[in-house]
Structure 1
Amino acid sequence: MAEQIYDERSDVRPDEDGYTRGLGSRQIQMIAIGGAIGTGLFLGAGTAISKAGPSLILSYAVAGVVIFVIMRALGELLTYRPVSGSFAEYAREFLGPFAGYVTGWTYWLFWVVTGMAETTAAAVYVRFWAPGVPQWLSALIFLLILYAANLISVRLFGEIEFWFSMVKVTAIVGMILIGVGVLTLGFGPAGDTASVTHLWQDGGFFPKGLGATVMTLQIVMFAYLGVELVGVTAGESEDPQRTLPRAINTLPWRIGLFYIGALVIILSLVPWTEFEPGVSPFVAAFGRVGIPAAAGIINFVVLTAALSSCNSGMYSTGRMLRDLALRGQAPGLLTRLNGSRSPAFAITASTLLMGLGVLLNYLAPGRAFQYITSVATVCGLWTWAVILVSQIRYRRAWQAGRLPPPTFRAPGGLWSSRAALAFLGLVVVLIAIDEDSRISLYVFPGWAVLLVIGYQVLRRTRPESVEVARDNGPHAGSER
């Protein structure tokens, strides 16, 4: 019965990915860098600044440390066994079949809803230059172009993501250099007023109190969503044992430069009291500097960030959905690969659902993006928690001599992972407290009920699909 779910053309089995290792070191590095830069920074920072002032820098720094702990934990697992199923596969091995099933579907949901938001956001950004173009038409064109690119080959996906990331990196580095020039040389209209003293004037570093700073952590964590995408590329990386640790180890300087460095500069150029929610702080800051095309430049960069996120969403949902199908936890048709070894049917199914985002934004244009991002944040928190718990179980296993030691050990051992788990728990509490983001906690129980019902149906109709994880991988079941 289980044999019916496999693609006869590729002879794929659950312990084989069947993909082409077409992502080189250059592309993996840029995917990792691009994963740390998104619309959460370019747009979301404006709302966070208005809520916490300069102390937002501290929020990004603390959250950045936690993200690094999570990524180093993932690095241990990736070098232990680099597989395309990534988080779901490790959950199956160390936490059981049900955990793998939930993680796979939840990460798939995360990128589907993110793709919905980003596709529509990209269409909105196009209206900056072409207000007469219907929003649905722009969204459809972007969706079709990225869909085609993901079907053609993984190398084309990697190349597109490389250049998307290059645009974002170049823009932020350029803005930082301009800001440093204004602060040190005093050129431009903002030269007379720009000063690092803005970081502690106007009410101090914590103008709205420590509590307000803590409340911004949920916004900050959304900005970091997607950084774990590098783990999904493990099954298609040319040399995962070398390229993945290198990509993860560069995370601290990426956070330091692109988030903390950029925030220090823009908050020094303009007093925090002049930033408004919903307005890009980069547009406000560099408009003050006197760059006439600031709005257009930032709009182009944010458009690129949105398309990059949607592109990544198609890639990851396709791999995760096929991984589920290979284990009988999704329709068997989704296991099929096309001639270029891309999961064409899984990508198609995910893309069709992403297209529903246009309808959602039509029905609830004022709140849709907030609803979607709130749900995505909770899905991301679940994924990060699973990574940490899986790494803790793996560490216990190799310390007991049941598994080989990792070649890329996370600093701090079990204590750092436990501390990161506690931090994620704090973020969930903050989401529950905040009225605007609390809706995600209403949606997630409904999603959990659907997953439990689906799992029970699988147990009765396809029992082998929920037991296959017990024999999956070279050391599966070592913790049970």
Structure 2
Amino acid sequence: MANSNINKNSDGTYRSLSNRHVQMIAIGGTIGTGLFLGSGSTIAKTGPSVLLVYLVLGLFFFLMMRAIGEMFYSDPSHHTFVSFITKYLGPAAGRFTGWTYWIGLVFVCMAELTAVAAYVKFWLPNVPSWIVELVFLAILCGLNLIAARLFAETEFWFAMIKIIAIVSLIITGIFMMVKQSTTPLGHASLANITKGYQMFPNGSFNFISSFPMVFFAFQGIEFVSITIGEAKHPRQIIKKAVNETLLRILLFYIGALVVIMGIIPWRSLSPDVSPFVQIFELAGIPAAAALINFVVLTSAASALNSAIFSSGRHFYQIATEGREGSFLKEKFAKISKNGIPTPAILLSAGLVLITPIMSASAATGSVFTIVTGASSDMYILVYALTMLAHRKYRQSSDYLPSGFKMPWYKVTSPLTIAFFLVIFASLFFIKEDIIGAVAAIAWAIGFGGYVLITQKKLETNAN
């Protein structure tokens, strides 16, 4: 009986996630389809300088994760990092961030579900997308509803597939470079990276515009923190998961990019074809396209799985912070007998059912692209608010001087906030991102203003 008390939270959720689950979820959140598919276009824009872009962004994401990790270490009972925003910046900021992040997660689910259907068409071109979408959504939603441990086990194997693909690429690349293999594009060698190196080979604008592209490739790295409320040994696990973030970025992203540019001279790299496919084809693996399609399919399914898990926890958090007696709190601030926020997950997954309708119409598809872009841009605001909450935590009585502290806080905290704001500002100089950035600002002003006004009314009525 004592053991069950240890593993059960006061709200009814269970601490069933082991260290290996959380570590693999961290890797899954760090590595997305951006590396497998999008890295070719980023390399084409910036050349070898792309390594610097990944390194700089990796460092700032690591610092953000240290800030989140420090707050969770001080109080591991929270289910989401957004609850710290409510705690330290007030209920209005918490409501704005909670709803903004949750809506963003729903659109992430929609985008990843659309991607899953597209990848399945590689093998089943005649099966309608909406059928594929319904099947995948039902399976992954079902896994999330049974137990957190089952979600984590699924993520473990999804992440393992990604790791095997990247490690295989790196080993293949090292072997080809050591042998100095000759390909139709030249000799495989590290000299391909340094030969005729220029900081801005395609101009400074292309270099700067690559930062938002890589930023969105890292988006979702914070998902690991959402598992802490259901981890067996939260303080031990959060330290390990966060501290290894930078190492994973260096190993998987930087390692893979070095190998890609070492084998294929970067000016010969096709931006429209996965670099992984190109490398494995040059290595003489005929099924390269099918193999990488399988990897990106599991990567998209992994992102969808994590987004369903995360959106359910975030909506549950929103519901628990609702007014007493409100419909929101009565219906959705509930945990099922198996320790799952079932109503919140069902609502989030239910909204994702709009995806099949979206994929059936070109007009709604273009609107969907704009809204998805705007929701991604809103994540930057959420990250900035998270950093501000961390600053308030440092000034509060909750601060643990002996805790898991963000390194060089006085310098790194304002630098990280400033960096996120610079990334947001850069969107206005990139034609494809302007609409999304404007929509994000409109949301922040419109919804943020509404939340402030309603919060003031509640406080006035309470007094």
Instruction: Note whether the superposition's TM-score is higher than 0.5.
Output: yes
Which residue matches 1:421? 417
Which residue matches 2:439? 443
Which residue matches 1:301? 295
Counterpart of 2:201 in 1: which secondary structure? coil
Q: How does 1:6-45 map to 2 (within 5 A)?
A: 16-45=10-39
Which residue matches 1:352? 350
Which residue matches 2:393? 394
Does the 8 Å contact 2:18/2:232 carry over to 1? yes
Q: What one-letter code is carried by the residue in structure 2 that aligns with 1:120?
A: T
Counterpart of 1:98 in 2: which secondary structure? helix
Q: Does 1:140 align with 2:138?
A: no
Change (3 A) 1:465 1:81: farther
Q: What one-letter code is carried by the residue in structure 1 that aligns with 2:373?
A: S
Deviation string, structure 1 residues 199-247 (Cα, Å, up to 9, x no partner) = 1336635311343212200000101111101111121111101011111
Deviation string, structure 1 residues 84-135 (Cα, Å, up to 9, x no partner) = 4432211111111111111111111221111100001011001111111111
- Once residues 431 and 196 of structure 1 are traced to their aligned partners in structure 2, the CA distance between those partners, rounded to angstroms, is 33
Aligned-pair Cα RMSD in Å? 2.4
Q: What one-letter code is carried by the residue in structure 1 that aligns with 2:351?
A: L
Change (3 A) 1:465 1:169: farther
Deviation string, structure 1 residues 48-71 (Cα, Å, up to 9, x no partner) = 122212211110011001011111
Which residue matches 1:343? 341
TM-score of the aligned structures, taking structure 2 as reference length: 0.91
Q: Which runs of 5+ in 1 are unaligned?
A: 1-14, 468-480
Which residue matches 2:145? 151
Q: Which segment drifts farther, 229-238 or 440-449? A: 440-449
Q: How does 1:60-459 map to 2 (within 5 A)?
A: 60-187=54-181, 189=183, 193-201=187-195, 204-328=198-322, 331-332=328-329, 333-364=331-362, 367=366, 370-371=369-370, 373-397=372-396, 403-448=399-444, 449-453=446-450, 456-457=453-454
- Once residues 113 and 359 of structure 1 are traced to their aligned partners in structure 2, the CA distance between those partners, rounded to angstroms, is 14
- Once residues 296 and 56 of structure 1 are traced to their aligned partners in structure 2, the CA distance between those partners, rounded to angstroms, is 27
Q: CA deviation at 1:459?
A: 6.0
Does the 8 Å contact 1:36/1:227 carry over to 2? yes
Q: CA deviation at 1:426?
A: 1.0
Counterpart of 2:127 in 1: which secondary structure? coil
Identical columns (%): 38
Q: What one-letter code is carried by the residue in structure 2 that aligns with 1:282?
A: F
Q: CA deviation at 1:416?
A: 0.3
Does the 8 Å contact 1:113/1:357 carry over to 2? no
Which residue matches 1:11? none
Counterpart of 2:81 in 1: which secondary structure? helix
Paired residue total: 448
- Once residues 218 and 279 of structure 1 are traced to their aligned partners in structure 2, the CA distance between those partners, rounded to angstroms, is 20
Q: Which segment drifts farther, 385-394 or 58-67? A: 385-394
Change (3 A) 1:406 1:456: farther
- Once residues 201 and 368 of structure 2 are traced to their aligned partners in structure 1, the CA distance between those partners, rounded to angstroms, is 28
- Once residues 36 and 190 of structure 1 are traced to their aligned partners in structure 2, the CA distance between those partners, rounded to angstroms, is 33
Does the 8 Å contact 1:189/1:290 carry over to 2? no
Deviation string, structure 1 residues 162-190 (Cα, Å, up to 9, x no partner) = 11111111111111111111110245746
Q: Which segment drifts farther, 85-94 or 170-179? A: 85-94
- Once residues 407 and 187 of structure 2 are traced to their aligned partners in structure 1, the CA distance between those partners, rounded to angstroms, is 43
Does the 8 Å contact 1:79/1:408 carry over to 2? yes
- Once residues 429 and 79 of structure 2 are traced to their aligned partners in structure 1, the CA distance between those partners, rounded to angstroms, is 34
Does the 8 Å contact 1:76/1:406 carry over to 2? no
Change (3 A) 1:17 1:417: farther
Does the 8 Å contact 1:245/1:408 carry over to 2? yes
Deviation string, structure 1 residues 243-292 (Cα, Å, up to 9, x no partner) = 11111111111000111110111111112223334432211232222221
Does the 8 Å contact 1:154/1:342 carry over to 2? yes
- Once residues 461 and 39 of structure 2 are traced to their aligned partners in structure 1, the CA distance between those partners, rounded to angstroms, is 42
Counterpart of 2:431 in 1: which secondary structure? coil
Q: CA deviation at 1:458?
A: 6.5
- Once residues 38 and 372 of structure 1 are traced to their aligned partners in structure 2, the CA distance between those partners, rounded to angstroms, is 20
Q: What one-letter code is carried by the residue in structure 2 that aligns with 1:139?
A: E
Does the 8 Å contact 1:182/1:190 carry over to 2? no
Q: Which segment drifts farther, 80-89 or 386-395? A: 80-89
Q: What one-letter code is carried by the residue in structure 2 that aligns with 1:55?
A: S
- Once residues 296 and 166 of structure 2 are traced to their aligned partners in structure 1, the CA distance between those partners, rounded to angstroms, is 11
Change (3 A) 1:188 1:136: farther
- Once residues 56 and 192 of structure 1 are traced to their aligned partners in structure 2, the CA distance between those partners, rounded to angstroms, is 21
- Once residues 29 and 167 of structure 1 are traced to their aligned partners in structure 2, the CA distance between those partners, rounded to angstroms, is 14
- Once residues 160 and 345 of structure 1 are traced to their aligned partners in structure 2, the CA distance between those partners, rounded to angstroms, is 21
Change (3 A) 1:188 1:19: farther
Q: CA deviation at 1:455?
A: 5.9
Q: What one-letter code is carried by the residue in structure 2 that aligns with 1:384?
A: Y
- Once residues 109 and 153 of structure 2 are traced to their aligned partners in structure 1, the CA distance between those partners, rounded to angstroms, is 19
Does the 8 Å contact 1:392/1:414 carry over to 2? no
Q: Which segment drifts farther, 375-384 or 74-83? A: 375-384
Change (3 A) 1:43 1:192: closer
Does the 8 Å contact 2:129/2:359 carry over to 1? no
Q: Which segment drifts farther, 432-441 or 239-248? A: 432-441
Q: CA deviation at 1:148?
A: 0.4
- Once residues 424 and 460 of structure 2 are traced to their aligned partners in structure 1, the CA distance between those partners, rounded to angstroms, is 31
- Once residues 297 and 367 of structure 2 are traced to their aligned partners in structure 1, the CA distance between those partners, rounded to angstroms, is 18
Does the 8 Å contact 2:80/2:317 carry over to 1? no
Change (3 A) 1:30 1:466: farther
- Once residues 393 and 25 of structure 1 are traced to their aligned partners in structure 2, the CA distance between those partners, rounded to angstroms, is 29
